[in-house]
Amino acid sequence: MISPLNGQQTDQEEANTPLDKLKDRIGELNSQVDIYTTIEQTEHITLVSGLSQVLEDTYSIYLKTHNCRWKVTEPLSDSLDELLEKQYTEMTTAVEQITERIKALGIPTPDPHTEFLRLSSMAETAEVPTLQDMIPLLIESNESVSRKALFVSEQAQMADYSLTAELLTERIKVHQQNASLLRKYLRI
């Protein structure tokens, strides 16, 4: 470990940013690639790494949405309860679709129990949330994964990975819609 007194980061400070997490994931995947692709291996690894982060963030939002429905102490309106259920049910399917896409690209998917929380770029909450705290968190999480999916979709389009780009375009649409629908509950 390098001392922080000399201006360099310690091991604990490293890999805290999303870019560092992406670089770590790229390093992990480089040793696992065994597929011939139409693009350079580095581009392929970068694309799959980004797709893995979209998977991890989608799973994280799924858990947050589920927890909002389960743990929020205030009573939920019927419409909000139904909306949350619809959103996390849709994300269950999305997690499966993204996982299958990563596997089709020849890379093992991250383990949700060990890697997702480490690689996710989203903030986690430790305490029992209030509805006033949880709705903005869900909105920001949906917006965040939408931005990430847009970035990775652009990479997929440039690499001519049309199926991956289509999947990510759908994720962008869904997460933007989720954020928009949740914004209505900020005014209640």
186: left (phi over 0), alpha (psi -120 to 50) or beta: alpha
- Residue 10 resides in a domain: no
Nearest to 119, CA basis, from 164, 68, 59: 59
Report pLDDT for 14: 46
- The average pLDDT across 53-80 equals 86
Q: Please give the residue that has the higher pLDDT: either 174 or 159.
A: 174
Give the domain CATH number at 96.
Answer: 1.20.1260.10
Domain of residue 98 covers: 21-28+38-186
Nearest to 45, CA basis, from 57, 60, 33, 63: 33
Nearest to 123, CA basis, from 109, 112, 114, 134: 134
- Residue 125 resides in a domain: yes
- Residue 8 resides in a domain: no
- Residue 6 resides in a domain: no
Output the six-digit token pair for 103. Answer: 């596997």
Angle between helix 41-71 and helix 131-158 axes, rounded to 10 deg: 160
**Where does the pLDDT of residue 109 fall: very low under 50, low under 70, confident under 90, or very high at 90 and above?**
confident
- Residue 107 resides in a domain: yes
Output the six-digit token pair for 128. Answer: 């029992």
> Mean pLDDT of all residues in the chain?
80
Q: Are 122 and 148 in contact (CB under 8 A)?
A: no
Question: Which of these ranges, 12-26, 55-69, 87-101, has the smallest mean pLDDT?
Answer: 12-26
- Residue 33 resides in a domain: no
Give yes or no for residue 84 having a pLDDT over 80.
Answer: yes
Question: Which of these ranges, 4-8, 23-27, 66-70, 180-184, has the smallest mean pLDDT?
Answer: 4-8
| Location of structure tokens 């914004």 | 183
Angle at 22 between CA 19 and CA 23, to 5 degrees: 90
- Residue 52 resides in a domain: yes
**What is the number of domains present in the chain?**
1
- The average pLDDT across 27-37 equals 57
**Where does the pLDDT of residue 46 fall: very low under 50, low under 70, confident under 90, or very high at 90 and above?**
confident
Give yes or no for residue 15 having a pLDDT over 60.
Answer: no
**Where does the pLDDT of residue 43 fall: very low under 50, low under 70, confident under 90, or very high at 90 and above?**
confident
- Residue 123 resides in a domain: yes
Q: Please give the residue that has the higher pLDDT: either 123 or 153.
A: 153
Report pLDDT for 122: 53
**Where does the pLDDT of residue 13 fall: very low under 50, low under 70, confident under 90, or very high at 90 and above?**
very low
